[in-house]
Amino acid sequence: MKKVFAMLLTGVMMFTMAGCSKPAAAPAPAAEAAAETKTEAPAEEAKTEEAKPAEAKKLVVGYSQLGAESEWRTACTNSVKGEAEKRGVDLKFSDAQQKQENQIKAIRSFIAQKVDVIGVSPVVESGWETVFKEVKDAGIPLVLVDRKADVPEDLYACFLGSDFKAEGERAAEEMATLLGGKGNIVELQGTVGSSAAVERLEGFKAVIESKYPDIKIIKSQTGDFTRAKGKEVMEAFLKSDGKNIQGLYAHNDDMAIGAIQAIEEYGLKPGTDIKIVSVDAVKGAFEAMIAGKLNVTVECNPLLGPQFFDVCEKIVAGEAVEKYIPSEEGIYRQETAAADLPSRQY
């Protein structure tokens, strides 16, 4: 019994000594360990993602140009294309080659592509209502550029361009001054049915008939806004009435330049024997004035790209735009052409 008691006492003492010694550190709970080893990178990445602005949607614009019949039209096209590239606009461009049916096909293609805005320079005034209604039904705003269309105003957002009637009026006043209020003139009209041709004729004729009864328009025919056609028609005018023509009014500079060739071939001096007033103010007109072959050009500004895309951006942003936005224009004469030419952009 004594031996048993001694053994039990020894066991109790050993247990007590073990309890008094310092225990080993217990392992940290899993959650606390994760907290200690976690870095701040994910939080910073999340913050960066939140701060990053959403990418702006690229503006998509469809533009139906009527053609490339003149220096003016080429300058207009280059202005639109250049400004689109400058602003990063996705431009869907179509050259109609002066055919309305090609413009209508292009507009329907733009509708199918769901562009944000459609711009169109109508080759003629009439025949647009059906396709413009399709544009409206598709919820796409439409902007008329340079030329008007004979449609209700609710079918387009705005018209951006020149006051063609005012151009005709200015041309009439310049012609009256050159002729001293008396003489016979012939007229080279633009494309039949185009707003530019219709209104330049109206404005010119109204001033001549109301203010200058001794000036007569003895011949008037379309030259389609082209240099070749202008020369051809002027040749016919000279053949029938060469000795009775004191002045020529051309609806654009290209037709006037073609007519100048015809006048020279006929044996007369353009700008002297026949006074010439045209519209557009392209570089070719300034060169003709410097050479003494053209007397006056009334400006019609083709550099419409910046104004056009300003309008597109405002419309897409939900801002109101004026129904008619005029371009800034002037009158240029032979006397100052040499000084004016270096600053011309088209």
Q: Does pLDDT of 94 surpass 90?
A: yes
The pLDDT value recorded for residue 328 is 82
- Looking at the structure, do residues 240 and 317 belong to the same domain, yes or no? no
SS3 81: helix
The pLDDT value recorded for residue 10 is 46
SS3 328: coil
Query: pLDDT tier at 54 (50, 70, 90 boundaries)?
Result: low
Q: Could you tell me which residue, 245 or 45, shows the higher pLDDT?
A: 245
- Looking at the structure, do residues 97 and 174 belong to the same domain, yes or no? no
Bridge partner list, 326: 161
List the helix and strand counts (H, then E) for the chain.
13, 12
Task: Decide if 234 is inside a domain.
Answer: yes
Expressed as residue numbers, the domain containing 280 is 164-300
The pLDDT value recorded for residue 333 is 98
- Locate all alpha helices (DSSP H) within the chain, ordered by sequence: 2-20, 30-37, 41-51, 71-87, 100-112, 129-137, 164-179, 195-211, 227-241, 253-266, 283-290, 305-316, 337-340
- The per-residue pLDDT of the chain, averaged, comes to 88
Whether the CA torsion 279, 74, 152, 316 is positive or negative: it is negative
Q: Does pLDDT of 13 surpass 60?
A: no
- Looking at the structure, do residues 118 and 190 belong to the same domain, yes or no? no
Task: Decide if 293 is inside a domain.
Answer: yes
Query: pLDDT tier at 57 (50, 70, 90 boundaries)?
Result: confident
**Tens of pLDDT, residues 195-217:** 999 999 999 999 999 999 999 99
Task: Decide if 339 is inside a domain.
Answer: no
The pLDDT value recorded for residue 55 is 62
Q: Does pLDDT of 286 surpass 60?
A: yes
Overall average pLDDT of the 280-307 stretch: 97
Overall average pLDDT of the 229-258 stretch: 98
- Looking at the structure, do residues 309 and 282 belong to the same domain, yes or no? no
Overall average pLDDT of the 167-186 stretch: 98
Task: Decide if 335 is inside a domain.
Answer: no
Cα gap 237→247, rounded to integer Å: 12
Least confident of 35-39, 135-139, 189-193, 322-326: 35-39
Number of domains in the chain: 2
- Looking at the structure, do residues 169 and 267 belong to the same domain, yes or no? yes
Task: Decide if 311 is inside a domain.
Answer: yes
Contact 161, 146 (CB under 8 A): yes
Give the global pTM.
0.79
Overall average pLDDT of the 167-187 stretch: 98
- Looking at the structure, do residues 158 and 201 belong to the same domain, yes or no? no
Task: Decide if 3 is inside a domain.
Answer: no
Percentage of the chain surpassing pLDDT 70? 84
